[in-house]
Amino acid sequence: MRLIEASSLQHIFFSEEGYTVALEDVSFSIEEGDFISFIGPSGCGKSTLLSIIANLIKPTSGRLTQQISPSEIGYMLQQDYLFPWKTIKENILLGLRLQNREDTEIVDDLLRRFQLTHTANFYPAQLSGGMRQRISLARTLAVQPRLLLLDEPFSALDFYTKLLLENFVAKTIQQLEKTAILVTHDIAEAIAMSDRVYLFSNRPGTILKVFDIPEEIRNLAPFEARNSPLFQPLFQTIWKELEANGYENVT
């Protein structure tokens, strides 16, 4: 089932000083169960596009057709934004409470699934960065979204924790049969986690090229995928495409 169909999206930010074209002629489609990545330089409109998909802003022009409601979309950001004065369990409950649902069974199940039951009465400051991001994912999943938007959720973590969390998030999304969109600067991360990678140009952001990830890579956990014989050639192909388009702010 096709969840999202974007056609010729454009978005312009206006200010007193003038205007900035963030996105130009962006078209793509997402099927239910897809895991896709948007990759490109800073300021190319990737996060703006996520905001459009999340119905936080409207595109200036173009058409976005979605077979899901805003309440079925979960958003996970680079920072966990956990409330420091609330316990872990209370933080996970926040989204449910906003929907007038006091469903502690969902929270308890997620804590068990994430092997974090022992943290229920802890406060965010008592947890590591990786554990806080796992709690952030649990909070996002608690409202049972069909679509997950992941805006550079691993970029603030050390490399070892980042690899562990990539595996954890990919496995969780697969087990729960969610659809996901990941925004990242990291080529390796995009290849290791995705079914398909969309490469964006410098601002105004438009889709330069789409890379379908080989099944051999997709069938592996992100850490193992990096050791696939197909991984490095694909990495080099994407890297050369970036160089050919004149920017280097992607790792």
pLDDT at 143 over 60: yes
What is residue 101's predicted lDDT score, i.e. its pLDDT? 80
3-state secondary structure string, the chain? CEEEEEEEEEEEEEECCEEEEEEEEEEEEEECCCEEEEECCCCCCHHHHHHHHCCCCCCCEEEEEECCCHHHEEEECCCCCCCCCCCHHHHHHHHHHHCCCCCHHHHHHHHHHCCCHHHCCCCHHHCCHHHHHHHHHHHHHHCCCCEEEEECCCCCCCHHHHHHHHHHHHHHHHHCCCEEEEEECCHHHHHHHCCEEEEECCCCECEEEEEECCHHHHCCCHHHHCCCCCHHHHHHHHHHHHHHCCCCCCC
pLDDT: is 171 or 211 the higher one? 211
Is 58 part of a structural domain of the chain? yes
pLDDT tens-place string over residues 173-210: 998 899 999 999 899 999 999 999 999 998 888 999 99
Q: For residue 233, give the CATH number of its domain.
A: 3.40.50.300
Average pLDDT, the chain: 90
If one counts the domains in the chain, the total is: 1
Is 160 part of a structural domain of the chain? yes
Is 250 part of a structural domain of the chain? no
**CA–CA dist 203, 45 (Å, integer):** 7
Is 174 part of a structural domain of the chain? yes
pLDDT at 251 over 50: no
* Minimum mean pLDDT range among 27-36, 60-69, 115-124, 156-165: 156-165
Is 130 part of a structural domain of the chain? yes
Residue 19 β-bridge partners: 14
Is 38 part of a structural domain of the chain? yes
What does pTM read for this prediction?
Answer: 0.91
pLDDT tens-place string over residues 14-37: 888 888 999 999 999 999 999 999
Q: Which residue range(s) make up the domain with 64?
A: 2-244
